[in-house]
Amino acid sequence: MKTRTVIVFFLCLFIGSSLRADSTKFKVGVILPLSGSLSDYGVAIKNGIELYQYDHPDKTKSVEFLYEDDQYDSKTSISAYKKLSTIDNVDLYISFGSPSCTSLAPILERDKKLLINLSADEVPALGRKYVFRSVNHTGQYMKELIAYLASISVTETGILAAELGFTESMLSAYKRNLLPDQHVLELGTVNPRELDFRTLVLKAKLKNVTTIGLFLKPEQIIVFLRQAAELKYKPMIFGANTIESALLLPKHEVLEGAIYPYHNLTTTFMKRYEEKFGGNISQLPFAGNAYDMADILFSSDGRFKDPESLLDYFASVKDHDGIMGKFSYTEDAEGGKYFKYPIFIKKVKDGVGEMLNW
């Protein structure tokens, strides 16, 4: 009986010391769409963080990343936050996309917890002290796109957008930044689940629209273009980075020639990523952005113990060498708090988005 008591005592002592050791780790809760139609974004972000951990084991040993799948659904994002905050005692949060940021921003602002949102949509983050975005805002992407269209003498465009925060933000930024001689015909907005575009295709064809911006979900882009081909209509296509996700889907050959604004990456990172995770390189810029965010966090020399000190540290970042080029902290009325990167134009050629030099 005495022997059993001694064993139980040392077992409890071991478990208790393990728990205490684990509690010293800085915990980062990562809420991503790891399944569903936008899972390539979530997987790329997760892979980018894991690649940084693999490359820098000494820097990251005192930090634990806890992942939750929100399937790009705002209610699920909230459930994930409740679990991470109450059960896992997370110190800092990373999320992706407009739905997640829209639902989490007011809650984390109330709880005084820092949220790093990987999304171009600035609207949910504006006016927030504790919400920081990791990339440029929508207006900067659209300005680059508009400048390219002007360079190839495109002055009139049609636009079709899904009723989503991200796509509607891109549409708004596109219209807001048009040059004086550029005009847009809004073909309408559609439900994110809509997959019958024949009426809209015919509308664009009858109005002789030769260039169309498709700010839609990836599967919607493919269906629209497939139905357009069936109706003998072949416009020039432009859009946002959802075009890159659409390249993973069946019938993606209809995207040939489509253009969209995005980021460039170092050749070294691209090779390292493919070696570790295989040939699926969709949304690779988000993997690079996540890698850069991990680098910023782990290069802070322990200064990220509270949201205020981390935000002060972010504000000191200028011309930092990143996977997508040099980036700097920026804070303005249009984008809130974010890191600003160089933006380029990509064009789909042989099923791959290639950077254009123009």
In order of their start, the domains of the chain are 27-135+265-343 (3.40.50.2300), 139-262 (3.40.50.2300)
Half-sphere exposure of 57 toward its Cβ, with a 13 Å CA cutoff?
1
Using CA atoms, how far apart are residues 112 and 106, in angstroms rounded to an integer? 10
First-to-final CA distance of the chain:
82
**Contact predicate 96/102, CB 8 Å:** no
Q: What is the reported pTM?
A: 0.87
Name the H helices within the chain: 2-23, 39-55, 57-60, 74-86, 98-111, 138-151, 165-176, 198-206, 218-230, 242-246, 267-277, 284-298, 307-315
For each of the chain's 358 residues, which pLDDT tens digit applies?
A: 544 544 444 444 444 434 433 457 889 999 999 998 889 999 999 999 999 999 998 888 888 999 999 999 999 999 999 999 999 999 999 999 999 999 999 999 999 999 999 999 999 999 999 999 999 999 999 999 999 999 999 999 999 999 988 888 899 999 999 999 999 999 999 999 999 999 999 999 999 999 999 999 999 999 999 999 999 999 999 999 999 989 989 999 999 999 999 999 998 999 999 999 986 677 899 999 999 999 998 876 666 668 888 899 999 999 999 999 999 999 999 999 999 999 999 999 999 899 999 8
